[in-house]
Structure 1
Amino acid sequence: MALPASSAHATTVHVGCSVPALVEAITTANSSPGADTLRLASKCTYRLTSPDTANPANGLPAITSDVTIDGNGATITRALSAPAFRILLVADTGTLTLNKITISGGKATDCPLFPGEAICGGGINNQGTLTVNHSRVVHNAADTAADNLFVEGGGIDSDGTATLNDTEVSDNTALFSGTTPSSADGGGIANDGPLTVNHSRVHHNTVRVTANPESLAFGAGLAAFAPTTVKNSIISNNLASAPGGTARGALSNGAPPPGEMIVTDTVIRDNTTSAPGGSALGGAIANNAKLSMNRTRILGNHATAPGGGTAGGGAIRSGAFGDLTLSSSTVRGNTASAPDGGTARGGGIDNPTGGTVTTDHTWIGENTAKATGGTARGGGVFNAVGSTTLNKSSVTGNKAGDGGGIFKESGTVTLNNSAVEHNKPNNCAPPDQVPGCTG
């Protein structure tokens, strides 16, 4: 008579404060049936000095089963003297939950989704399912000087499904320093799979490329290429730099249809997009897909292009395929700046290439478009080709060389129960191009 198969039970393992103990625990968990919890030594620093023997691109064995790591305030980091490797890889068969842990010092050398084409996921690369709770992902890097590669996800690169809860992603970098045209995106996070960010902080991350007119740096905080939800979070003080090239917003959305980014109850502030002699597009947000923003504040961001460049959208730049809805939100105190004879458009919102922008109960105020010796238009809003509709909204206290409130170069601007007033030097330009706007 056949005996009944034994059922898989969850197992909890206490891991001593040593790297060999952690490696052994992960290896055992991967080979055992059922879910496993690894409880790390309280506040221990697991300092990795050499990569995983089976896959030297990673510091620890790849997660291939259902594993929870309870950090107890511990840190897993790469030693400064160690060769380059990321900290963790979640394989496509893996499910990893991280609780109360810091992941730091990782330096990616490959990219599982784009082998031979990119460097990605300095701290964590996720091909399966990743959940990060009450944790920190800090001081990791995806960078390369090798030509004909791109870089993505300095802190986290997620190609599977990922959720971040009450987590800090900061001081990570995605850097391309080669000589050929290339791109760097997702200084903090890049996602090619579904992503949810709850009650988290994404700050002081950087994307940078070597000076080249064909290179791009974007999504210094978060670069999304799949459906993404951001709730009750802060995205701040991130930097995108592309000298002579194109730099785009700290939050970049390119989720293909029918994907959508939804941002709710979030603050996006003090981010900078810089492209000396190039194009700086969207100090806070660069959108070229469907984006819905609700009860969100976009404050004090900068798009700057000195040396005769173009700065578009101190807060938001909407691309040709952008479909942006702002509800009960604030766009305040942002700047598009192009000194040295450049062009500045849309201190608040720049919609220049055929996108659609709709606001409802939203204030666009105290934004500035400035270009010393150049052209500055649309302190609050700049519109060309596409359409902008303002419903029960206000555009007040903005400044530009012309069209202090709104500049409509072409396309359609519609005001529905909306006020455009107290802007300098005028409210709308050219005269009589925005129905319902005077002065």
Structure 2
Amino acid sequence: MSRRHVPVVLALVTGSLVAVPAQAAHAATVQVPCSVPDLVEAVNTANATPGPDTLRLARECTYKLRAPDPAHPGNGLPVITSEIIIDGRGATIERDGHGKKVPKFRIIYVENTGDLTLKRTTIRGGYATDCPAFPDAVGIACGGGISNNGKMKITHSRVTGNTSASRIFAQGGGIDSPGSAGSSISDTEVNGNHVVYDGDAAEGGAAGGGISNDGPLTVTGSRLTGNTATVTPRTRSIAFGSAIISFFGTTIRDTVVSDNRAFAREGIARGAVANGIPEEFGRLTLTGGAVSDNVSDAPQGLAQGGGIANNALMTVTGVKISGNRAVAKGGTARGGGIRVGPFGTLDVEDSHIDANTADAPEGTAQGAGIDNPEGGVLRAERNEIQRNTVTAKNGTAQGGGLYHAQGVLRPGSTTLERNTITHNRAGDGGGIFKASGVLTLKGDVVRDNRPNNCAPSGAVPGCTG
């Protein structure tokens, strides 16, 4: 029997069928004073009563959490187990991290029975060291600000300055959302959050500086800015998805992803927007908005996709992808704007891929605009691929607009149709460099690239100069 809705009970009384009416669902609006004990009490009361409850916070108040919830010390507020609407009215809920004695805890955890709507609220300063959605995964950290294992809707809010850190694997510096009920983020700022692998073992990971999702998610009209993913230097570890990493079907619409950074010295730094969705779980769809001025930096390592790194199913439509950088001094930098991995299938249409950079001094740099080097499948139509630059002082620089090579695990292919590839630069293959495999042009304009349009000579049918 549901806790929220008591069903109609049918009883046979003296030969007649009698209906006992359902209990009326409780729905309450609670005014919460500017006090942490009052906020905690309001959440506990809402959890204990059936039906949706709205908690209206004190306007512009800052609720400073100095201790975690006693029952669940990984969280600041009591676990949300029912349908709760938090209307912040400009309020902030933060972990008061100024005092050295304040323990580390996230701000909010939504249990699988929970349904959180967060409006006009700032979530700040949370610090996750555990992963309540995956309790058996000892040592993993998820969701520095919010961890959602149920249903979640965030609108007109801000998630800022939160951290998820682990010596094994960390994800979701700002938000982690493995909930299977579906979640959405709209008109929201996710900025200045951090995901950190701080262990000393080889091959650890930090994923999703702003957002990590293992469940269905839609992000609309939001800004993911200034988030970071970092790993311990010289551990051959991977920092990826500095803005967002998706492991389940995801839709991102009209959203700005900018100024995020992945850093992995002697490791792998990959993509502000990264995708590792198993095929049976759907694809990442990115429509409208911009992916700009993001950095993947891996000194003496491997930088893959300054803006976007796709290794699953992905569609990009009408997006401005500009000013992103893949940087690897003494290492390998691939895909300043976009990198397609060996298992990736990417469709990119009607987008501007402009002024991105792949730079590897004393190393190898390839594909400043788009890089498809290991057997991915790329289909690009009606895009402008312009002013992208590959540089590698005392190294190898190839494919200013596009680099393509077949893979070891699968041959892959690149199909270009009605794209404009102009004013790109590289050491060789200013427009396109094809190392091997299948690359097809269909009505594309490839001109005014330096030092040449396509290389090696004759490798790309239909491209000259």
Shorter-chain TM-score category? over 0.9
The residue that corresponds to 2:456 in the other structure is: 430
The residue that corresponds to 1:353 in the other structure is: 374
Match 1:299 to one of 304, 318, 322: 322
The residue that corresponds to 2:175 in the other structure is: 156
CA distance in 1, matches of 2:139, 2:198: 15
* Superposition deviation, residue 191 in structure 1: 0.4
For residues 358-373 of structure 1, the aligned pairs below 5 Å read 358-373=379-394
For residues 4-15 of structure 1, the aligned pairs below 5 Å read 4-15=21-32
Could you tell me which amino acid in structure 2 is paired with residue 431 of structure 1?
S
Q: Deviations over 1:227-258 (max 9, x none)?
A: 00000110000000000001100000111113
Is 2:290 the counterpart of 1:267?
Answer: yes
The residue that corresponds to 1:37 in the other structure is: 54
* Superposition deviation, residue 10 in structure 1: 1.7
Q: Quick check: 1:213–1:246 contact (8 Å CA) kept in 2?
A: no
Is 2:122 the counterpart of 1:102?
Answer: yes
CA distance in 2, matches of 1:84, 1:36: 28
CA distance in 2, matches of 1:261, 1:296: 14
The residue that corresponds to 1:84 in the other structure is: 104
The residue that corresponds to 2:423 in the other structure is: 397
Question: Structure 1 unaligned runs (5+)?
Answer: none
CA distance in 1, matches of 2:20, 2:402: 73
Two-structure CA RMSD over aligned residues (Å) = 1.0
Three-state SS of the structure 1 residue aligned to 2:279 is coil
The residue that corresponds to 2:38 in the other structure is: 21
* Superposition deviation, residue 325 in structure 1: 0.7
The residue that corresponds to 1:278 in the other structure is: 301
* Superposition deviation, residue 176 in structure 1: 1.4
Three-state SS of the structure 1 residue aligned to 2:47 is helix
Could you tell me which amino acid in structure 1 is paired with residue 444 of structure 2?
S
Three-state SS of the structure 2 residue aligned to 1:424 is coil
Three-state SS of the structure 2 residue aligned to 1:23 is helix
Match 1:216 to one of 234, 238, 247: 238
The residue that corresponds to 1:287 in the other structure is: 310
The residue that corresponds to 2:157 in the other structure is: 135
Could you tell me which amino acid in structure 1 is paired with residue 346 of structure 2?
L
Q: Quick check: 2:129–2:139 contact (8 Å CA) kept in 1?
A: no
* Superposition deviation, residue 117 in structure 1: 3.8
The residue that corresponds to 1:380 in the other structure is: 401
CA distance in 1, matches of 2:350, 2:141: 39
Three-state SS of the structure 1 residue aligned to 2:375 is coil
Q: Quick check: 2:26–2:49 contact (8 Å CA) kept in 1?
A: no
Match 2:339 to one of 312, 317, 328: 317
* Superposition deviation, residue 394 in structure 1: 1.1
Count of residue correspondences: 434
Q: Quick check: 1:247–1:281 contact (8 Å CA) kept in 2?
A: yes
Match 2:210 to one of 163, 172, 188: 188
CA distance in 2, matches of 1:274, 1:238: 11
Is 2:264 the counterpart of 1:251?
Answer: no
Is 2:94 the counterpart of 1:74?
Answer: no
CA distance in 2, matches of 1:334, 1:4: 65
* Superposition deviation, residue 92 in structure 1: 0.4
CA distance in 1, matches of 2:132, 2:96: 23
* Superposition deviation, residue 120 in structure 1: 1.1
Could you tell me which amino acid in structure 1 is paired with residue 171 of structure 2?
E
Q: Quick check: 1:285–1:316 contact (8 Å CA) kept in 2?
A: yes
* Superposition deviation, residue 112 in structure 1: 2.0
Is 2:331 the counterpart of 1:331?
Answer: no
Q: Quick check: 2:200–2:235 contact (8 Å CA) kept in 1?
A: no
* Superposition deviation, residue 3 in structure 1: 5.4
Could you tell me which amino acid in structure 2 is paired with residue 417 of structure 1?
G
Q: Quick check: 2:201–2:235 contact (8 Å CA) kept in 1?
A: no
Could you tell me which amino acid in structure 2 is paired with residue 110 of structure 1?
D
The residue that corresponds to 2:66 in the other structure is: 49
* Superposition deviation, residue 413 in structure 1: 1.1
Could you tell me which amino acid in structure 2 is paired with residue 214 of structure 1?
R
CA distance in 1, matches of 2:183, 2:88: 18
TM-score (norm 1): 0.97
Could you tell me which amino acid in structure 1 is paired with residue 192 of structure 2?
D
The residue that corresponds to 2:8 in the other structure is: none
Q: Quick check: 2:377–2:413 contact (8 Å CA) kept in 1?
A: yes
The residue that corresponds to 2:255 in the other structure is: 233
Could you tell me which amino acid in structure 2 is paired with residue 159 of structure 1?
P
CA distance in 2, matches of 1:248, 1:31: 44
CA distance in 2, matches of 1:379, 1:297: 17
Q: Deviations over 1:236-282 (max 9, x none)?
A: 00000000001100000111113100010120000000000000000
CA distance in 2, matches of 1:10, 1:132: 20
Match 2:432 to one of 390, 406, 412: 406
Q: Quick check: 1:349–1:382 contact (8 Å CA) kept in 2?
A: yes
Q: Highest Rg: 1 or 2?
A: 2
The residue that corresponds to 1:124 in the other structure is: 146
Q: Deviations over 1:75-102 (max 9, x none)?
A: 0000122210000000000000000000
CA distance in 2, matches of 1:423, 1:14: 63
Could you tell me which amino acid in structure 1 is paired with residue 313 of structure 2?
K
CA distance in 2, matches of 1:3, 1:176: 57
The residue that corresponds to 2:5 in the other structure is: none
Could you tell me which amino acid in structure 2 is paired with residue 84 of structure 1?
K
CA distance in 1, matches of 2:270, 2:360: 15
Is 2:79 the counterpart of 1:62?
Answer: yes
Q: Deviations over 1:147-201 (max 9, x none)?
A: xx11100000000132001000000000112211210010000001111100000
CA distance in 1, matches of 2:398, 2:446: 15
Could you tell me which amino acid in structure 2 is paired with residue 134 of structure 1?
H
